[in-house]
Amino acid sequence: DTVSIRLDWAYGSEHAPIFLAIKKGFFADEGIEVKLMPGEGSSVTAKLVGNRDADFGYATADQILIAAQRGLPLLTTAVILQQNATALIFPKDKPIKDLKKDLAGKTVGVQLKSTTKLQWDKVKGDQKLDATTFKEVPADLAIVPLLSAGRIDAGIGYFFNDGLKARAAGMDVDWILFEDLGVKIYSTALFTNSEFAQKNPDLVRRFTRAFVKGWIYAKAHEPEALAAFIEANPETDKVYAKMKLPEVLRLTESEDVSKTTMGHSTPEGWNSLQETLLQMGVLPQKIDVGTIYTNDYLK
Amino acid sequence: MGKAPRITIEDLSLAFRTGTGPFVALDRVSFDIAPGSFVSVVGPSGCGKSTLLKLLSGVYSPTSGRILFDGKPVEKERLQGQVGYVFQRALLLPWRTALQNVMLTMEVARRSMTRAQREAEALKWLEIAGLKGFEHRFPHELSGGMQQRVSICRALAFRPQILLMDEPFGALDEITRETLQNELLQLWQQTETTVVFITHSIPEAVILSEQIVVMSARPGRVVERINVPFPRPRVDSVREHPDFVEMAGHIRSLLHPRAHAIAAE
Amino acid sequence: MGKAPRITIEDLSLAFRTGTGPFVALDRVSFDIAPGSFVSVVGPSGCGKSTLLKLLSGVYSPTSGRILFDGKPVEKERLQGQVGYVFQRALLLPWRTALQNVMLTMEVARRSMTRAQREAEALKWLEIAGLKGFEHRFPHELSGGMQQRVSICRALAFRPQILLMDEPFGALDEITRETLQNELLQLWQQTETTVVFITHSIPEAVILSEQIVVMSARPGRVVERINVPFPRPRVDSVREHPDFVEMAGHIRSLLHPRAHAIAAE
Amino acid sequence: MYRLSVTLGQFLVFVVFFAIWELLVDLLHIRPVILPAPTAIAEKIWENRALLLKESWPTFAAISLGFIAAVVSGFLLAVGIAYSRIVRDLTYPFLIAAQILPKIAFAPLFLIWFGFGLTPKIVIAALIAFFPIVINTAKGLTSVDKELLQYMDSLGSSGWEKFTKISLPWALPYIFAALKISITLAIVGAVVGEFVAAGEGLGYVINSSNITLNTELMFAAIVTMSVLGILMYLAIVLLERYMLPQGQLEDSGHSTM
Amino acid sequence: MYRLSVTLGQFLVFVVFFAIWELLVDLLHIRPVILPAPTAIAEKIWENRALLLKESWPTFAAISLGFIAAVVSGFLLAVGIAYSRIVRDLTYPFLIAAQILPKIAFAPLFLIWFGFGLTPKIVIAALIAFFPIVINTAKGLTSVDKELLQYMDSLGSSGWEKFTKISLPWALPYIFAALKISITLAIVGAVVGEFVAAGEGLGYVINSSNITLNTELMFAAIVTMSVLGILMYLAIVLLERYMLPQGQLEDSGHSTM
Ligand SMILES: Nc1ncnc2c1ncn2[C@@H]1O[C@H](COP(=O)(O)OP(=O)(O)OP(=O)(O)O)[C@@H](O)[C@H]1O
Ligand SMILES: Nc1ncnc2c1ncn2[C@@H]1O[C@H](COP(=O)(O)OP(=O)(O)OP(=O)(O)O)[C@@H](O)[C@H]1O
Ligand SMILES: [Mg+2]
Ligand SMILES: [Mg+2]
């Protein structure tokens, strides 16, 4: 069988375990030939899978939930990144310790093209920040250069993308994780079209199994995963790739996963995500989270 | 090549739409043109001569009245390959050389000719018009008179049954003019061509034509139709013949009062 | 308005670059034009008459030789407002009405005039040219002769010191032509205007000018310069005068052999 | 009579187009996230009319300023190209290179170079709209009847007069063709600018509603965008009618009754 | 002589431009993420020459197919507009609306509508490149000297002959101006297409290296892109030189020695 999977963004070492799984033949072992495709943001990936233009997708859980609420038949089969990677990133020489005080007079870069902006809105609400004391500017895909050019004093982004890239570029930056500011939500997950899953339960099971196996194996053999990724993407920035992979692998951990298995998720986790999204205002109404995820395919 | 048709012009009127309302250029013009005859049209500038020719060629449609060819209304299809037209402007294609411009009409109106035949014919006419050596010049590299000559060659080269000529020799010196006049007469006598010829030169009209249509302006009307009885070939000395002088004087007098009235209006 | 300059043409040559190599249009042409004189240029089509006028007006630069105005080389600045030019083509601006086209030259060459003066002057000339009622027509709404008349008005209206006219009356009927000839002569006599006049009509040249320059073609050369001694005003009857007939015949004979040679070449 | 039936015809085409769309969405059960029905979009426009109106302003500002910048600079460069062979030969390769560069890829860098807010949007709009102005204007200015210019020379007229009285009017039809192309490009540019570099404007609404999969709102913003664009386009058409005298308008020419 | 010094001049401008760039980056200690130095980019190009060459092919295919589609369809529509008042009146508003629609906003939807790979890229390229072809060609076809057409009518020539022998050659300079504008737009379109809807091509390299902040590689791909684009542009210029006879080329005209 040929199965297509669309990732969230362009290939990076955060996808190394997937390349590793392909290289080690985990998919081949299940009789599956994988058609791997890069993405253009999680929202697009969610739409594409909902429209059956790809069999599987790898995108953030919030987008999966939003898309499902908007009527797309999506089913999450494994929540890979259990922790929220969003962070407030800033240079160490202009440190932010207390959000309330230290943000005053600063310029914060936000990414309109992702839900990180919405998470930031929630943080502002939760922490009762006075948005008039600092300035927000759009900074899609440019947090690091803007920080580097001094155009912004802080930026909202994934710590393993923008944060580590800044470090790889020789900047001394630090960050505050949103996870630590109370935005505990699932991050990137493997999902499929539920109609597709209904028709091909066995194929979905085999694919999910091979996919998760890649992550488990990568966690144990990090250098091997890195090597597999670099082999497939020789033009990549190797320093940055090496820095990023362990951080990403660490995000697969959670209390729940340590008790069960890689990729596992709980009703509490999904409900908390839904709660957060409701508060963020991107979700008009609640849905039954039970319909959009399952642990069944994790064996 | 078939015989030229008899042309019947019946009550022909044409009005142009202008910024200041309709303008009547031709007002109920009627006359006949026998097959194979040579008709000249004279009249003051702006009296509708060019307009008449454009109606005859099917370029314009009349506001009222009609034109019959052998009793049948003109149709574009039937005109194909029949009418040669020398416009008042040279009207050459700027991207074609003199030779290529002359070949244009044959491409359109004489499909049966081969490329080589067309070229030979075109070269022959260009030579007659004194344009040997200028065949491969583009129009903007030719003098005004040369452009006009190319335009004449273009119309003559495909031997049409009806030849409409709008002041063809106006921009030419006497010698070139005479050469081309002779060529035209020869072509006309050898073939069954009908020629409708606009000129401002009364002697030219008298020397060339069998019939002269005199027009007046505002609105364009036919004042008189004059038969020219002199025998052919009419040599230059015919100019001194008293009948000739008298006829020229008569035509001049027909044009005079009107024309003066316009200038003073 | 100052006096017209004496024009000295010294050994003037001009070659055009063409696809088939350089082409000599004018070959060592020399003659003088006295201030306020009326010079006609005649010659076969393509002999370089228009080219000569373009050199005189500063439009072209000679390949060799030079043109002096009162002994000094022509400069564009000094030409401003001095030269009126009637091109062989009417060459009107398609986006301007007849009136606006006539006003163009005054806008450029007579800045001191007010708008109202310009308009009055333009209207006067349009009326003289028999174009009353057509002032607000666009060029494409005028007949060929009318366009040419607008172009003549445009050159006359600003009363230049030097008037270069390239076959101005070629497209006009006899009456309109006579009217404009008379107007031109009147303008010339009243003011100190120098006129250089190209024509294909030998009688016209003889009737109008003080001096006739006869040119030959390939390459363009001056064959002879003829003084015309007849007293003014020269009425129509001068045409019958034996001296007139003889002079016309002489000019014709100058043009003949050459021209025939070209046609046969 | 004819005008009336044309307007009716256009209206009919519109109606048929939207009817088919509505039907297709309905019959094929296309989900609104993929393609919302016209009625749903219309509803959304009405609901969000205040928002859409408000967000139109910054977009309008970016488009018009970018367009004006493109027209002015493009026109000046075209004049240089038309009148100076050196300018032409030295700028052409760079002009083309600049035109070919995927400016959209640079958009994030523009943020860094030009800061936030209106400036980068204007720059992108101007850069994209610039090229047709240069190409067409230069073409128009160099296609002038040479003898007309010679006529002006014979009058001893200055270069400036030749330019204003002959070349410019001659080039106007070319220039207006370019303006029509460029205004639509300026719109694309402003939207791209707002995708990356703005927290306001219709482009921002399109982008952010795309992320939250609020496809109806996205289409609503696109429709508003189009209406805005069509109005600006019509402004140019009106200007053309006003500035091009009868002799130069497309549908003029010899007309018999 | 002149040609040689022009080439030298162009080269010099290039060298100076890059020298200043290099110096600025060096002196101001600009980080490569913000703006890499030309030498760094050159190095990156050399390092990745195989990759860049390989990725050029799909981009080239998308550009050329999109361009051809735009030219063919745009030309046909222009003919319809020029010759039929009904076609013109009925298509114009939609044409303009379609042109004004921010097609880039639709790019993600194109993915869904047309699938992956070449198709959406071609569609976007064609859509963006389409408009100038229509506008300019229609303009050229309708600006023909009316009396020339009348002359052809007097010969009883068919509409087809008038078209091929008069209108088309007359419109060629307009059409080539449009082709030059459109090829650059097709390039933009293909790149945008590759940003969203492809896993290959130079646009993909630009986008993915932008996301991973590999700015040197991004610039390397942009440079390759530009070179590709300039080559395609030059192909059109050559075609123009070949097809437009002397009488119609820009620099022809009355020339004295
Ligand atoms: N731009 C040009 N390029 C090349 N040759 C030219 C150009 N202009 C004129 N010629 C040639 O120069 C010669 C003189 O041309 P010119 O227009 O001066 O003739 P002319 O005496 O005015 O003729 P006509 O009476 O026919 O108007 C002609 O043979 C013509 O072909
Ligand atoms: N397209 C047009 N629109 C409006 N009026 C026109 C148009 N064409 C010609 N006319 C007018 O119709 C009248 C006749 O024009 P036409 O060209 O037939 O004159 P003509 O007899 O050929 O004059 P000429 O001897 O000057 O060439 C003129 O008064 C002219 O102004
Ligand atoms: Mg006429
Ligand atoms: Mg001449």
Among the listed residues D197, D218, D189, the one whose alpha carbon sits nearest the alpha carbon of residue D64: D189
User: Which residues in chain D have Cβ-Cβ distances shorter than 8 Å to E192?
Assistant: 102, 104
- CA–CA gap between residue B4 and residue C238 (Å, rounded): 45
B88 in reach of chain C (CB within 8 A): yes
Q: Is B46 in the pocket of ligand 2 (CB under 6 A)?
A: yes
Looking only at Cα atoms, what is the longest distance across chain D?
A: 74
Q: Which residues of D touch B19 (CB under 8 A)?
A: 246
Q: Tell me how close the Cα of A127 comes to any Cα of chain E, in angstroms.
A: 30
Ligand 2 atom with the shortest distance to the CA of D254 = 1
Q: What is the pLDDT of residues C234-262, one digit of tens each?
A: 776 777 788 888 888 888 888 876 444 44
More confident call, B43 vs E10: B43
Per-residue pLDDT of chain A (299 residues; tens, 9 = 90+): 889 999 988 888 899 999 999 999 999 999 999 998 888 778 888 888 888 888 999 999 988 998 888 888 999 999 999 999 899 999 998 888 888 888 888 889 888 767 788 888 888 888 888 888 888 887 777 788 888 878 889 999 998 888 888 888 788 999 999 988 888 889 999 999 999 999 999 999 999 999 999 999 999 999 999 999 999 888 788 888 898 899 899 988 888 888 888 889 999 999 988 988 888 877 888 888 888 899 888 87
CA distance B237 to B242: 11
d(CA C230, CA C233): 9
> 3-state class of E193 per DSSP?
helix
The answer to whether D153 faces chain C, any CB pair under 8 Å, is: yes
| Residue-number span of the structural domain to which B102 is assigned | 90-159
**Contacts with C191 (C-beta within 8 Å, 6 or more apart), sequence order:** C1, C159
Tell me if chain B has a CB within 8 Å of the CB of D257.
Answer: yes
Residue C97, amino acid? T
> Do the beta carbons of residue D181 and residue D132 sit within 8 Å?
yes
pLDDT of residue C257: 60
- The CA distances from residue B193 to A42, B2, B186, B188, in Å, are 81, 10, 11, 5
Q: Cα distance from E79 to chain B (closest Cα, Å)? A: 21
Find chain B residues with C-beta within 8 A of D254's C-beta: 16
Query: Which fold, E40-252?
Result: MetI-like fold (1.10.3720)
- B156-178: pLDDT as tens digits: 888 888 899 999 888 888 888 88
Alpha helices (runs of H) in chain A, residue ranges in sequence order: 16-23, 26-29, 42-50, 61-69, 99-102, 116-126, 143-148, 164-168, 194-199, 201-220, 222-232, 238-250, 255-259, 267-280
**C87: closest chain B residue by CA:** B144
**Per the domain annotation, does C118 fall within a domain?**
yes
Q: Is residue B134 part of a domain?
A: yes
| Residue E63 clears pLDDT 50, i.e. is over it | yes
Whether E179 and chain D come into contact, CB under 8 Å, resolves to no
β-pairing, A74-79 vs C211-216, is unpaired
How much of chain D exceeds pLDDT 90, in percent? 22
* Predicted pLDDT at D128: 86
Which among C122, C159, C120 has a CA at the least distance from the CA of C4?
C159
Q: Which two tokens stand for residue A127?
A: 């922490």
- Is D247 in the C-facing interface, judged by CB distances under 8 Å? yes
Q: Count Cβ atoms within 10 A of the Cβ of residue D3 and give its class: 0-12 exposed, 13-18 middle, 19 or more buried.
A: exposed
Q: Give the distance (Å) from ligand 4 centre to CA of residue C222.
A: 15
Q: What is the pLDDT of residues B110-128, one digit of tens each?
A: 778 888 989 999 999 999 8
Structure tokens given for E219: 């610039």
> Ligand 2: which of B17, B18, B23 to mutate, judged by most atoms within 8 Å of the beta carbon?
B23
Name the residue ranges covered by the structural domains of chain D: 1-30, 40-252
Do D228 and B33 form a contact (C-beta atoms < 8 A)?
no
- Residue whose token pair is 């069960």: A260
Residue C22 has pLDDT above 90, yes or no: no
Alpha carbon distance E243, B95 (integer Å): 11
Query: Nearest-CA neighbor of E43 among E228, E226, E217?
Result: E217
Tell me the C-alpha distance between B219 and B27, whole Å. 6
- pLDDT tens figures, C35-80: 989 999 999 888 899 999 999 888 888 999 988 888 888 766 666 6
With touching defined as 3 or more inter-chain CB pairs under 8 Å, the answer for chains B and C is: yes
**Percentage helix, strand, coil, to 5, in chain A?**
50, 15, 35
Residue D245 is predicted with a pLDDT of 63
What is the pLDDT, as a whole number, of residue E246?
Answer: 55
pLDDT, position E253: 35
Q: Is the CB of C42 under 6 A from ligand 1?
A: no
What is chain D's mean pLDDT, rounded? 83
What values do phi and psi take at C118, rounded to 5?
Answer: -60, -45
Q: Give CA–CA dist C259/C261, Å, rounded.
A: 5
Nearest by Cα to C125 from C138, C112, C134, C115: C134
A and B: touch, per 3+ CB pairs < 8 A? no
In the complex, which subunits touch B with 3 or more CB pairs below 8 angstroms?
C, D, E
**Does position B217 have pLDDT exceeding 90, yes or no?**
no
Neighbours of chain E (3+ CB pairs under 8 A): A, B, C, D
Q: How many domains does chain C have?
A: 1
Query: Which helix H or strand E contains D71, and what residues bound it?
Result: helix D49-83
Residue D1's pLDDT is: 62
**Residue B95 belongs to some domain of the structure:** yes
- The residue whose CA has the least distance to atom 7 of ligand 1 is B141
Contacts with E, C 10-49, CB within 8 Å: 14-17, 19, 22
Task: Work out the mean pLDDT of chain E and round it to a whole number.
Answer: 83
Which H helix or E strand runs over B67? strand B64-69
CB D56 within 8 A of CB D234: no
Alpha carbon nearest to ligand 1 atom 3, residue: B141
Are D146 and E89 inside 8 Å of each other by CB? no
- Using pLDDT thresholds of 50, 70 and 90, give the confidence band for residue B257: low
- Beta pairing partners, C125: none
- What share of chain B has pLDDT > 70, as a percent? 93
- Residue A170: CB atoms within 10 Å: 10
Which pTM value belongs to this model?
0.83
Please, are residues B4 and B161 in contact by the beta-carbon 8 Å criterion? yes
User: So what's the pLDDT on residue E108?
Assistant: 66
Distance CA A157, CA A177 (A): 10
Contact B256 C175 (CB under 8 A): yes
* B142 inside domain: yes
- Check if B45 has its Cβ closer than 6 Å to any atom of ligand 2: yes
**Chain C residues lying within 8 Å of B262, measured CB to CB:** 130
What is the β-pairing status of strands B83-86 and B162-166? parallel
Using the Cβ of E92 and the Cβ atoms of chain B, whether some distance falls under 8 Å is answered with: no
Helix, strand or coil, per DSSP, at residue A78: strand
Rg, Å, chain A Cα set: 19
Q: Which residue has the tokens 């031709």?
A: B26
Of A188-202, B221-235, E30-44, E178-192, give the range with the top mean pLDDT.
A188-202
The answer to whether residue B114 sits within a structural domain is: yes
The answer to whether B137 contacts C252, with C-beta atoms less than 8 Å apart, is: no
Predicted confidence band at C160 (pLDDT cuts at 50, 70, 90)? confident
Helix, strand, or coil (residue C87) = coil
Give me the pLDDT at residue C76, please.
61
DSSP string, D98-118: HHHS-HHHHHHHHHHHH-STH
Tell me the C-alpha distance between E175 and E180, whole Å: 9
Task: State how far the Cα of C167 lies from the Cα of C158, in Å rounded to an integer.
Answer: 19
Q: Which residues contact A243 (CB under 8 A, 6 or more apart)?
A: A164, A167, A168
Interface of B with C in 96-125 (CB under 8 A): none
CA distance linking residue D199 with residue A162, whole number of Å = 20
Residue C195: φ, ψ to 5°: -120, 130
Whole-number Å distance between alpha carbons of B247 and B251? 6
In the structure, what pLDDT confidence band is assigned to residue B261 with cuts at 50, 70 and 90? very low
**DSSP alpha helix (H) spans, chain C:** 49-56, 76-79, 98-109, 115-128, 144-156, 174-190, 202-208, 242-264
pLDDT the model gives residue B263: 42
Residues in chain C: 265
Q: Among residues D149, D158, D136, which one has the least CA distance to residue D79?
A: D136
Residue E207 — pLDDT band, cuts 50, 70, 90? confident
Count CA within 13 A, CB hemisphere, residue E80: 16
Residue E75's SS3 state is helix
Q: Which residue type does E31 have?
A: R
Orientation angle between helical segments E118-142 and D168-197, nearest 10 degrees: 160
**Residue at B203 is within a domain:** no
In A188-211, which positions are buried (b, 16+ CB within 10 angstroms) versus exposed (e)? bbbbbbbebbeebeebbbbbbbbb
H or E element in which residue E240 lies: helix E215-243
CA separation for the pair A108, A137 (Å, rounded): 6
Measure in Å the smallest separation between the Cα of B77 and chain E Cα atoms. 6
Cβ of C29 less than 6 Å from ligand 2: no
- DSSP assignment, residue C139? G
Give, as one character, the DSSP assignment of residue B227: E
Q: B87, B129, B86, B79: which is closest to B109 by C-alpha?
A: B79
Chain D residues touching B17 at Cβ < 8 A: 255-257
* CB spacing of E196 vs A44 below 8 angstroms: yes
- B197's enclosing H/E stretch is strand B194-198
What is d(CA E45, CA E202) in angstroms, rounded to the nearest whole number?
12
**How far is ligand 1, taken at its centre, from the CA of residue C212, in Å?**
20
pLDDT at position A102 is: 87
- Model-level ipTM above the cut of 0.90: no
Range 68-87 of C in CB contact (< 8 A) with D? 76-85, 87
D247 and C76 in contact by Cβ < 8 A? no
Does residue B252 or residue B77 have the better pLDDT? B252
DSSP A70: T
